[in-house]
Structure 1
Amino acid sequence: MKKYLFSLGFILILFSCKDDKKTLQAGEIVTSADFVAFYPEVNLPFSVADTTLLKKQNDSMLLELNTFSQFIPDSIWRKDFGKASPKVYALGRAVEKEKENYLFTALVAGSKRAAYLACFSKDNKFLQAMTLVRTGFDNYSSAYGMLDKKFQITTYRDTKKTGGDLIYKRNVYFYDRNGDNFTLIVTEPNEDIIQDVFNPIDTLAANNKFSGDYVQNDRNFVSVRDGKNASEIIFFVHFEKNGGKCNGELKGNARFISPTVAQFVKSDNPCSVEFTFSGSKVTMKEKGGCGSYRDIQCFFSGSYFKKKASTSKGKEKVK
């Protein structure tokens, strides 16, 4: 009997040790695979609200800031926290089978708090990251960010204006592995999607078929307005890539060289850009060197989706 009990106890100890090995501690993170595995797996949909950020975080999920910055560029969060050294908490991880890992992280520095969503490849390589929700920065009444079962990302915020009117903003994105970015696919009223970037052609007429705002997010967009005739468009491009380290802006007139392709050619330098329109999308491609209008390590390129005209603007046109 004693022999049986001893054997049973030994087996239980073995299983206990095996389970302990599965629990990775923050101080044991060495590789990107360790980093991804540290985040507890969560079920979808998974959301993080501003009220969630105000609660006390789980200290067992605390990460060293230096460790976090080894695997996710600090340019992602420094635009919010500046020189502060926020505490970092792993909130959860969602896995798209045979595709990407999505990591949710909360950063806390006093009253300023933010949650970020980072995308890693199936072999644990960092791809992109974006802000899901913030509190302590803006005067929103409520806000949240969510990843649903279709791996679509929703950001939402609302605020009350003078007089009690509630305005809100809901954006829906997906990770585009071909373009390696978070692409905006839905934006709902009623704040302007292009924030904090001056758009010099915003108020020009936008009545032609291809006129409108084509966006990836609020810092990367192509605005198209009516030209002097049907064979010409006026455009303005603004992009910020690699966490704001590579930026570009270009404004000009482009002429259609086919029914769906407009070309911009700069007469006094080699800069040339083509805009190909297809349905509700425009694809931009730099054909000639436009280094005078952008940083050296990025180009005027990528696909942008057309933003639906707001209801209020539509009503104004009817008048």
Structure 2
Amino acid sequence: MKRYLLLVLTIGALAACKSKKKTGSGADEPMTFEDFQELFVPGTLPYKINADTLQLKIADSLAVDTAAVNQFLTDTLTKGDYGKTEKVKLFPLTRIQGNLTNYMVIKAVGRSQTTGYLCMLDKKGKYLNRLRIANTGSSDGTVTYTSIDSKNVIKISTEKKLGANNVSLREDFYAVDKTGAVQLIMTNSNGPTTPGQIFNPIDTLPRKHKFSGDYTAGDMSLISIRDGEDGKTFQFFITFSKDNGSCKGELSGRGHYIAGNRGEYKDKESSCGIAFQFSAGRVSIRETGGCGAYRGIKCFFEGNYAKKAEKKKKKP
């Protein structure tokens, strides 16, 4: 009887050991990707992460090893947001299956700020790219939060307090392809404009196409054209200020080149449309649909813009 009882206890102990999840932190066997993804709560689209969610206290025992994040995602996850010597705790939040890529959301908690990252993976679990999608605790009081709709469009919203009852809001909309490449498709903003200074969200993108470049019509009106994913598409950013700032407009998205030196843009979410006509060193635009959501009611996306000479890079 004693021998039988000892055998039962031994089998039970072995089964318990086998059922323990491999954590990769001191375990006899390394963590597998299946183990790693089980640390994330399954989620679905649409998805939101806001400041309140980011600030929720999570037990330190639920933090994931940095080594595991480096192994399955990237060792540069928090680069640029935290110092090299700053101790940062990483918490797995949500995993979501998308149409083209899958997502993993990780929360990083440092001494001065808390940040959310969206990691893109292919359908086999290979890491592709990451986006900084949420942040609280920045020195200037800026708060960043994000939503992803059912069509996998990522909207990153940035709020900044300008006074007791004044808040500027900037919304950047992104699309992600199957390679994890992120493309800005539209920007909305109610923030103030500094005279003589324009923030161009696509300024650093490639400009190898013959029509790519910056076109201006005065100090506060800009059309920026950048290369698309192929020779038939382009990315653009338009901002203008007319009548001493009483009428403003701003729009960004992805257009298509059509016959001749023409291009067009059609907003998938509204009737807004823009026609582009390129010529030697110039571009003219006009509305082909109602774009009132992106401008004042007394002005339109129209006019002629002259191309600026690109500054030559200094040789090292």
Is the 8 Å Cα contact of residues 107 and 117 (structure 2) preserved in structure 1? Answer: yes
| Identity in percent | 20
Residues 24 and 213 from structure 1, CA distance in 2 versus in 1: closer, same or farther, beyond 3 angstroms?
A: farther
- Structure-2 residue corresponding to 1:39: 40
Q: Which of 212, 216, 226 is matched with 1:204 structurally? A: 216
- Structure-1 residue corresponding to 2:54: 53
Is the 8 Å Cα contact of residues 161 and 167 (structure 1) preserved in structure 2? Answer: yes
- Structure-1 residue corresponding to 2:171: 170
Is the 8 Å Cα contact of residues 117 and 131 (structure 2) preserved in structure 1? Answer: yes
d(CA) in 2 for partners of 1:314, 1:74: 50
- Structure-1 residue corresponding to 2:91: 89
Q: Deviations over 1:274-306 (max 9, x none)?
A: xxx55369xxxxxxxxxxxxxxxxxxxxxxxxx
Q: Deviations over 1:62-89 (max 9, x none)?
A: 1112321223333341111131231000
Q: Which piece of structure 1 moves more, 110-119 or 152-161?
A: 152-161
In the alignment, structure 1 segments of 5+ residues that lack a partner are 1-8, 226-255, 262-276, 282-307
d(CA) in 2 for partners of 1:314, 1:76: 45
Q: Secondary structure at the match of 1:41?
A: strand
Q: Deviations over 1:9-57 (max 9, x none)?
A: 99xx89x969956x55463653444433332212333322223222212
Q: Secondary structure at the match of 2:190?
A: coil
Residues 43 and 17 from structure 1, CA distance in 2 versus in 1: closer, same or farther, beyond 3 angstroms?
A: farther
Is the 8 Å Cα contact of residues 175 and 183 (structure 2) preserved in structure 1? Answer: yes
What are the within-5 Å matches in structure 2 for residues 95-110 of structure 1?
Answer: 95-96=97-98, 99-110=100-111
2:42 is aligned with what amino acid?
A: E
The normalised TM-score by structure 1 is 0.55
Q: Deviations over 1:79-109 (max 9, x none)?
A: 1113123100001101136x42200000011
d(CA) in 2 for partners of 1:152, 1:198: 22
d(CA) in 2 for partners of 1:190, 1:313: 15
Is the 8 Å Cα contact of residues 66 and 90 (structure 2) preserved in structure 1? Answer: yes
Q: Secondary structure at the match of 1:145?
A: strand
d(CA) in 1 for partners of 2:18, 2:151: 32
d(CA) in 2 for partners of 1:61, 1:182: 30
- Structure-1 residue corresponding to 2:67: 66
- The structural deviation recorded for 1:148 is 2.9
Is the 8 Å Cα contact of residues 103 and 119 (structure 1) preserved in structure 2? Answer: yes
d(CA) in 1 for partners of 2:137, 2:203: 22
Q: Which piece of structure 1 moves more, 25-34 or 110-119?
A: 25-34
> Cα RMSD over matched residues?
4.5
Residues 172 and 197 from structure 1, CA distance in 2 versus in 1: closer, same or farther, beyond 3 angstroms?
A: closer
Residues 20 and 202 from structure 1, CA distance in 2 versus in 1: closer, same or farther, beyond 3 angstroms?
A: same
Residues 197 and 134 from structure 1, CA distance in 2 versus in 1: closer, same or farther, beyond 3 angstroms?
A: farther
d(CA) in 2 for partners of 1:74, 1:82: 14
d(CA) in 2 for partners of 1:222, 1:312: 20
In the alignment, structure 2 segments of 5+ residues that lack a partner are 1-7, 192-197, 206-212, 229-234, 240-256, 268-290, 303-316
The normalised TM-score by structure 2 is 0.56
Residues 36 and 278 from structure 1, CA distance in 2 versus in 1: closer, same or farther, beyond 3 angstroms?
A: farther
Q: Secondary structure at the match of 1:77?
A: coil
- Structure-2 residue corresponding to 1:157: 158
- Structure-2 residue corresponding to 1:241: none
Is the 8 Å Cα contact of residues 40 and 93 (structure 1) preserved in structure 2? Answer: yes
Is the 8 Å Cα contact of residues 48 and 146 (structure 1) preserved in structure 2? Answer: yes
1:204 is aligned with what amino acid?
A: T
Is the 8 Å Cα contact of residues 168 and 190 (structure 2) preserved in structure 1? Answer: yes
Residues 161 and 143 from structure 1, CA distance in 2 versus in 1: closer, same or farther, beyond 3 angstroms?
A: same
Q: Secondary structure at the match of 1:172?
A: strand
- 1:194 and 2:200 equivalent? yes
Q: Which has the higher helix share?
A: 1
